Amino acid sequence: MSLDAHLVVAERGLNVRFDLSDASTLALVGPNGAGKSTVLETLAGLVPADRGYAHLRGRTLFDTSTGTSLAPHQRGVAMLAQDALLFPRMSALDNVAFAGRANGLDKRKAYDRARRWLEGLEAADIADRRPGQLSGGQAQRVAIARALAAEPSLLLLDEPLAALDQPVAAEIRRTLGRLLAGRSAILVTHNILDAALLADHIAVMDAGRIVEEGATQDILQRPRTRFAAQLCGLNLVSGVAVIPDSIIGADGVMVVGLPQVPLTSGAQAVASFAPASVSVYREAPLGSPRNMFTGVVGAIVPQSNLVRIHVGPISADITPGSLANLRLETGDPVFLTVKAAEVSLYPA
Amino acid sequence: MTAKPGLPGWIYLPAALGAAFIVAPIAAMVTRVQWSHFWSLITSESSVAALLLSLRTSGIATLACVVVGVPLALVLARSRSRWVDIGRAAVLLPLVLPPVVAGIALLYTFGRRGLLGGSFEALGIQIAFSTTAVVLAQTFVAMPFLVISLEGALRTTGARYEAVAATLGASPTTVLRQVTLPTMLPAIASGAVLAFARALGEFGATITFAGSLQGVTRTLPLEIYLQRETDPDAAIALSLVLVVVAVAVIGLGRERMRSA
């Protein structure tokens, strides 16, 4: 076990308990204000916890029951934020060497290590530049080199790619993926790609609690909370299981699908399906589709080469051609159908 | 320069009036300077003594303001204690206090029969009516200028760089020395310039607490005030010197701020 933590910050309504196995990366996802950044700040020692503890590789970062708490600089926990926050009056190389110097290396060793890290991040050519002369992507590379040059036991990443343009973010995401292998890290993100490509585990937070957690693959393939489903672009209906192959939602609507594991009647379960598998009609379709919902068109949003129609909690992706054919507008009543074979059912 | 959108034309009238109100008296004074005697007036023994004393004491006072004012601004900007608000109000006091009141307060602290004066007396040190008193008076009135401007700059910059430096393993002293102070250098410089200018012009607290002894406590503002009675031409010439020094200080401060 790398990290074992229970964090309570009353002022921000945070109360989470989680652990992190050695050399693995945990992604914290969830809506704004869920408390994800507070988790990082509390672990770094920048925000005091009211109750709880954090043990990192056998060291106690803090424990309110014994009243111990290490100062931020004693924790071996480096933080990387959305802004690179390079010290403005130092060159890129000085910035990275600062980390080594702060950890007691002599000047030569600190600068040797700094050069190696800049090379590792393909940023050796900008070593002598001031932060003001760097692009966003270059600055973030230097910031990553600086964080790693501190050789932290735990790396905290707070939306490290959120401020960058797509192609730059993709490049740095690849670099990060390589560097995070073999390290313990916690990554706060809003981006499904970050979670899918960088994290071994995902914890979904809402209102200061962890509401769902598991291996990345499980969460992304079988989300159990609406936020996780949204993150992976899936529709989610939660309700009570009715064997063999359906659930009844809170509003009485029934969804039939393929159980991924045998269901227990009366137990909480969820149904998930892709927006692309939802068909939209103006008139009730002929025959008797097993899954049919009615509702009113809420929003119509272009999505790359498709158009997403929001009807209550369900979204449907249709082609621009079908949209023109249906002449849909906000406020129009519609019928939605989904083939049972396209719906996954599993316990919540 | 063109008018900013939304700024009504009539606003330039009171604005010009305000500018004229500041510029006109300076100009009026300049018209009365006796240029033929100017050099001899400002190089008289008492004038030179006053000018040198002013520069020396203001320089030391500015140094004192930096040495204790920078830590004070850091504490006010970064501490989360409730006492900080009270502390800030107290530090601001010299800004709004009449200088003569400041002089009396200092007299009852460091004077012979003052709160601390007795202890100094026992050590054979007399502060009141000495050059030290001039420096104390100037430091007292000038410190808030440095503290307030620096605290504002510290708050604007925020503590994010410090937080990053700490998580990289840097101790609080290292963070202060290598991150906070270098980042704050322009703000410290401009705060020091403000403090120096205020110290240079200090009159009320100085005459109350330090008196007016030529070469010892009679700074340039005091010399000007005294000369006004006996030799108005000399007073005007010295005033101009003070104006020139003030303009130079402001120019220097602006240059520093721009280069940052």
Of the listed ranges A197-206, A265-274, B245-254, the one predicted with least confidence: B245-254
* Whole-complex ipTM: 0.79
Question: What is the spatial distance between Cα B119 and Cα B246, in angstroms, rounded to a whole number?
Answer: 37
Nearest to B227 by CA among B95, B34, B73, B71: B34
Instruction: Flag if B172 and A73 touch (Cβ within 8 Å).
Output: yes
**C-beta of residue A191 within 8 angstroms of C-beta of residue A15:** no
Residue type, A59: R
Share of chain A above pLDDT 90, in %: 59
Nearest to A206 by CA among A23, A11, A9, A16: A16
For residues A246-252, average pLDDT: 83
Chunk chain B into consecutive blocks of 10 residues (it has 260) and report each block's average pLDDT, rounded to whole numbers. 73 96 93 90 91 95 97 91 88 91 93 83 84 96 94 89 95 94 91 92 94 92 93 92 87 64
Question: What is the spatial distance between Cα B188 and Cα B176, in angstroms, rounded to a whole number?
Answer: 14
3-class state of residue A179 by DSSP: helix
DSSP A137-175: HHHHHHHHHHHHHT--SEEEEESTTTTS-HHHHHHHHHH
Tell me the shortest Cα–Cα distance from A303 to chain B, in angstroms.
37
CA distances to A223, A255, A275, A341, A346 from A246, rounded to whole Å, are 17, 5, 19, 12, 10
pLDDT reported for residue A28: 95
Question: What is the spatial distance between Cα B189 and Cα B181, in angstroms, rounded to a whole number?
Answer: 11
Share of chain A above pLDDT 70, in %: 100
Question: What is the spatial distance between Cα B67 and Cα B211, in angstroms, rounded to a whole number?
Answer: 26
CA-nearest residue to B174 within chain A is A102
DSSP A273-321: E-GGGEEEESSPPSS--SSEEEEEEEEEEEETTEEEEEETTEEEEE-HH
- Give A93's pLDDT tier (boundaries 50, 70, 90): very high
pLDDT reported for residue B19: 96
- Token readout for A288 is 């008797």
All residues of chain B having their beta carbon less than 8 Å from the beta carbon of residue A71 are: 166, 172
pLDDT reported for residue A180: 92
Q: Average pLDDT, whole number, for chain A?
A: 91
Highest mean pLDDT among A139-153, A188-202, A310-324: A139-153
- Give A341's pLDDT tier (boundaries 50, 70, 90): confident
Question: What is the spatial distance between Cα B182 and Cα B179, in angstroms, rounded to a whole number?
Answer: 6
Residue B176 touches partner A, C-beta closer than 8 Å: no
Residue B181 touches partner A, C-beta closer than 8 Å: no
Instruction: Flag if B171 and A103 touch (Cβ within 8 Å).
Output: no
Q: Are strands A209-215 and A254-256 parallel, antiparallel or unpaired?
A: unpaired
Instruction: Flag if B167 and A156 touch (Cβ within 8 Å).
Output: yes
Q: Are strands A246-249 and A235-242 parallel, antiparallel or unpaired?
A: antiparallel
CA-nearest residue to A95 within chain B is B165
CA-nearest residue to B260 within chain A is A89
Question: What is the spatial distance between Cα A235 and Cα A224, in angstroms, rounded to a whole number?
Answer: 11
Q: Apex CA B200: angle with CA B132 and CA B136, to 5°?
A: 25
Q: Are strands A246-249 and A292-303 parallel, antiparallel or unpaired?
A: unpaired
**C-beta of residue A257 within 8 angstroms of C-beta of residue A273:** yes
Would you give the distance in Å from CA A18 to the centre of its chain? 16
All residues of chain A having their beta carbon less than 8 Å from the beta carbon of residue B170 are: 73, 98, 102
Question: pTM (2 decimals)?
Answer: 0.79
**C-beta of residue A49 within 8 angstroms of C-beta of residue A9:** yes
Host H or E run for residue A204:
strand A201-206
3-class state of residue B130 by DSSP: coil
For residues A176-204, average pLDDT: 92
Looking at the partner chain, which of A76, A85, A152 has a beta carbon nearest the beta carbon of B164? A85
pLDDT reported for residue B6: 82
For residues A293-322, average pLDDT: 89
Q: Which residue is it, tokens 């001899």? A: B40
